[in-house]
C-alpha cells in the first residue's frame, strides 16, 4: 500500500482501524474486513461507500464515505493542473471548522506531494437524498441551499486570517492558463452542443467568451469564502434519514471571492429556470435575512448587480468543464442544464451588459 491510499482497493482494515482510533470513533476492537461500492455522480473525483466489519459487534461505524482521485485520466489531470484535490483536502483540514455550513465530519484528509494522490474519509451521511442537477429541486430544497450559502459566507466575511490563507490566493500562472484554454473550451462547447443548446443561449456563451478574454486576471477584493460549484449535485438532502435537512459536499473549487458568485450560480445554473423565476425574490431576501442574522447586514438592492453577474460563473463553469473533464451522457445533460439556467438568467437580467459595465 502506498503512503496515501488513493484508490478504494488500497484501504485495509489496519489502516481504517488506525484512522478510526485517532478520530475517537473506535475505542475497542479493530476493523477486520472492508468492502466498497461507488456512490455519487462526480466527474473530477470518485466517491465510494465503505462497509466495515469488526472483531467486536458494534465497535465502530458500520459505513463510511471516501473520496479519491478520478479514475479517468482527463479529469484527473485537469484536477491536478488547477490544484483541485489539494484545495479540497485543505478545506477539510484548515477551514471547515471556522464555518457554519454543514459538511461531513472528516476522519482522514491526506494528500501526496504530487497533488494527485489523496484520500478523504468521512462520516456516512446516509440514508440521504442526493441533489440532482438535471431533475431540479423543490422550493424547500432551494431555501435549504441558500441558508447553507449564508452559513459559509457570513463566518468568513471579512475574516482576515481566512482571506489570507496562502493556498487560497489566486495564482497568476493558473489564471493565465485558464485564459489561454478558455477559447478552446468555448470552441469545443460550440461544436458539441450547437444542435442541442438554444441559439439565444449559445450567443450568451459566445459573448461571455469574448468578455472573459478581456477580463481574465481581474480580481475583485475578496469578501468571503465561496464554494465555487454551488449546485444540486454537490448537496445531500434529508441526511441521516431526514434527521438534518442538508449537507454541502465537493469543496474542490473553494476560493476567496464575492459571495454572490455562489448565489448567482445556484439560482441560475442550479435550481432550474422555472423555479428560479417563481422564487427568485424570495430566495434573495432569505439570503439577505440569513446574512443579516449572522452579523453581515445585506439587502436585495445591495447585492443585485453582483448576483446578476455571479450567474455567469455557472455558464463559464459549464463551458470549461465540458471541455476538460471526462465526457459522459450524464455530463452532457448536466452541462446543458447549467448553461440553460445561467443563460436564461443572463438574458432576463442583462448579465453580460453588467459584466462589461
Q: What percent of the chain has pLDDT over 90?
A: 80
Fold topology of 8-123: Phosphorylase Kinase; domain 1 (3.30.200)
Position 40 pLDDT exceeds 90: no
Domain ranges of the chain: 8-123, 129-356
pLDDT band at 218 (very low <50, low <70, confident <90, very high): low
pLDDT band at 216 (very low <50, low <70, confident <90, very high): low
Average of pLDDT values for 213-238? 86
Position 189 pLDDT exceeds 80: yes
Q: What percent of the chain has pLDDT over 70?
A: 97
- Say what the pLDDT of residue 283 is: 98
**Number of other CB atoms surrounding residue 126 within 10 Å:** 16
pLDDT band at 219 (very low <50, low <70, confident <90, very high): low
Indicate the SS3 state at residue 247: strand
Taking only Cα atoms into account, the Rg of the chain, rounded to an integer number of angstroms, comes to: 20
User: At which residue does the C-alpha cell 431555501 appear?
Assistant: 143
Pick from 88-102, 133-147, 216-230, 244-258: least confident: 216-230
- Say what the pLDDT of residue 310 is: 94
Position 220 pLDDT exceeds 80: no
pLDDT band at 1 (very low <50, low <70, confident <90, very high): very low
CA atoms within 13 A on the CB side of 146: 27
Position 41 pLDDT exceeds 70: no
- Say what the pLDDT of residue 144 is: 98
- Say what the pLDDT of residue 324 is: 83
Q: What is the mean pLDDT of the chain?
A: 93
pLDDT band at 174 (very low <50, low <70, confident <90, very high): confident
Buried b (16+ CB within 10 A) or exposed e, 40-64: bbbbbbbbbbbebebeeeebbbeeb
Fold topology of 129-356: Aminoglycoside 3'-phosphotransferase; Chain: A, domain 2 (3.90.1200)
Yes or no: say if 12 and 30 are a contact pair by the CB < 8 Å rule: no
pLDDT band at 47 (very low <50, low <70, confident <90, very high): very high
pLDDT band at 171 (very low <50, low <70, confident <90, very high): confident
Yes or no: say if 25 and 60 are a contact pair by the CB < 8 Å rule: yes
Yes or no: say if 331 and 322 are a contact pair by the CB < 8 Å rule: yes
Grid coordinates belonging to 244: 438534518
Pick from 94-108, 216-230, 234-248: least confident: 216-230
Amino acid at each position: 500500500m502506498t503512503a496515501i491510499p488513493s484508490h478504494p482497493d488500497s484501504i485495509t482494515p489496519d489502516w481504517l482501524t488506525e484512522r478510526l482510533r485517532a478520530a475517537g470513533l473506535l475505542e475497542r476492537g479493530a476493523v477486520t474486513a472492508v468492502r466498497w461500492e461507488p456512490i455519487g455522480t462526480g466527474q473530477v473525483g470518485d466517491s465510494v461507500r465503505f462497509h466495515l466489519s469488526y472483531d467486536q459487534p458494534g465497535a465502530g461505524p458500520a459505513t463510511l464515505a471516501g473520496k479519491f482521485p478520478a479514475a479517468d485520466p482527463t479529469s484527473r489531470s485537469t484536477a491536478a493542473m488547477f490544484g483541485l484535490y489539494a484545495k479540497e483536502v485543505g478545506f477539510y483540514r484548515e477551514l471547515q471548522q471556522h464555518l457554519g455550513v454543514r459538511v461531513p465530519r472528516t476522519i482522514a484528509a491526506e494528500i501526496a506531494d504530487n497533488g494527485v494522490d489523496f484520500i478523504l474519509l468521512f462520516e456516512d451521511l446516509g440514508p440521504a437524498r442526493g441533489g440532482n442537477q438535471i431533475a431540479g429541486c423543490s422550493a424547500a430544497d432551494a431555501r435549504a441551499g441558500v441558508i447553507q450559502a449564508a452559513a459559509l459566507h457570513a463566518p468568513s466575511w471579512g475574516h482576515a486570517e481566512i482571506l489570507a490563507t496562502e493556498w487560497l490566493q489566486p495564482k497568476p500562472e493558473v489564471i493565465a492558463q485558464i485564459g489561454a484554454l478558455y477559447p478552446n473550451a468555448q470552441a469545443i462547447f460550440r461544436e458539441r452542443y450547437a444542435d442541442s443548446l438554444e441559439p439565444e443561449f449559445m450567443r450568451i456563451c459566445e459573448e461571455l467568451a469574448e468578455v472573459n478574454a478581456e477580463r481574465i486576471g481581474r480580481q475583485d477584493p475578496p469578501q468571503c469564502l465561496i464554494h465555487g460549484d454551488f449546485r444540486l449535485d454537490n448537496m445531500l438532502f434529508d441526511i441521516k434519514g431526514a434527521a438534518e435537512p442538508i449537507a454541502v459536499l465537493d469543496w474542490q473549487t473553494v476560493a476567496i471571492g464575492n459571495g454572490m458568485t455562489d448565489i448567482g450560480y445556484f439560482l441560475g445554473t442550479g435550481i432550474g429556470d422555472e423555479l428560479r423565476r417563481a422564487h427568485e425574490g424570495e430566495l434573495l431576501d432569505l439570503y439577505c435575512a440569513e446574512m443579516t442574522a449572522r452579523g453581515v447586514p445585506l439587502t436585495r438592492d445591495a447585492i443585485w448587480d453582483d448576483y446578476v453577474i455571479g450567474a455567469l460563473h455557472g455558464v463559464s463553469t459549464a463551458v470549461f468543464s465540458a471541455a476538460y473533464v471526462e465526457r459522459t451522457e450524464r455530463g452532457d445533460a448536466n452541462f446543458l442544464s447549467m448553461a440553460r439556467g445561467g443563460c436564461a438568467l443572463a438574458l432576463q437580467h442583462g448579465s453580460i451588459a453588467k459584466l462589461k459595465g
